Amino acid sequence: MNEKAFQHKIFLALLVVVTVAFIWILLPFYGAVFWAIILGVIFAPLQRRMLLKLRWQRNLAALCTLGVCLLIAILPVIIICLLLVQEGATLYKNIESGQLDISSYLMQFKTLLPPYFRHLLDHLGMGDLNGLRDKIAKAALQGSQYLATQAFTVGQGTFDFAASFFIMLYLLFYLLRDGTDLVRRVRMAFPLAEHQKRRLQLKFNRVVRATVKGNLVMAVVQGILGGLIFWFLGIPSALLWAVVMAFSSLLPAIGAAIVWAPVAVYFLLNGMIWQGVVLGLFGIFVIGLVDTVLRPILVGKDTRMPDYLILISTLGGIAVFGLNGFVIGPLIAALFMSVWEIFIETKQTPRLPG
């Protein structure tokens, strides 16, 4: 082994060590760094338009773009989270005081079922709902208790939240201002062909914008619509159920129907016909059509992945990375598919003419 090759290997080892160490020190604030990158990708087109309007004053353009991002993306999420904590505290008090008895609703639902379905439940070994009733009541109590306790522990985590929030904004400003140069440097560092690097970059940008702009906007719209119809029908904790419907709408094939459909059935079985009919029709023709109408517009056909892959990657991402996983999961899945497509293309030998 000559001296140059040895020095090259030492340098590569040093590169790996310092890269791993750098990622390690960023782990406590990985959420802030991650969302700064995601928001930087989403608002990059707006930054370019701001640069043109402000005659290429990069600092001013980045500040204006950051202000727009705060108003339309960040502050609404903070307000919704605060309202959700309050709603969870109220729900916990109602369950603890007995004002809201979930277990009795479950038993009443069983008694309202037709005899055939009750016999079917008995045949499947699900006729005795006492255990299930206790589990559901306990889960609801624990969930609402968790949200309630957050209202009292927010003060303890104020410094961590403020630090992460400041880091995200600070990093986002520089990503907006210098993002083009950073992307160019990253592309130069990758040992791939130029067309392959460009393809991966385009795929990354499209998936990020499709996942956040598309799926998140659809989740917000479906959550708002579901919360409004729940509020109109007088269902308690409408805001809490709106957030649950927003999260469930991220899952293909299941969607917000996992929340509103059982409530509509309960209304119909309980003799509240007009409430059940209104909720069912609204869920099918308003909430359900949001996915059909908005998804092709916001996401686009070229960024679509199979529904089963979106479902698995979303659930897996949330299980591994928490709330950030609803973006990280589909992103990893899309890059996985792109990298393997590139690998397969490089292995295909061109056919000889004739």
Question: For 222-236, what is each residue's pLDDT tens digit?
Answer: 888 998 999 898 887
- Full-model pTM: 0.70
Per-residue model confidence (pLDDT) at position 315: 82
Could you give the dihedral angle defined by the CA atoms of residues 30, 33, 39 and 43, in that order, rounded to the nearest 10 degrees? -160
Positions of the chain with pLDDT under 50: 151-156, 352, 354
Distance (Å, whole) CA 300 – CA 303 = 6
The pair phi, psi for residue 3, each rounded to 5°, is -65, -35
Distance of CA 36 to the CA centre of its chain: 15
Residue 229 is predicted with a pLDDT of: 92
Q: What is the pLDDT of residue 64?
A: 92
Which phi and psi angles does 187 have, rounded to 5°? -65, -35
Q: Would you state the pLDDT for residue 270?
A: 78
Q: What is the pLDDT of residue 117?
A: 63
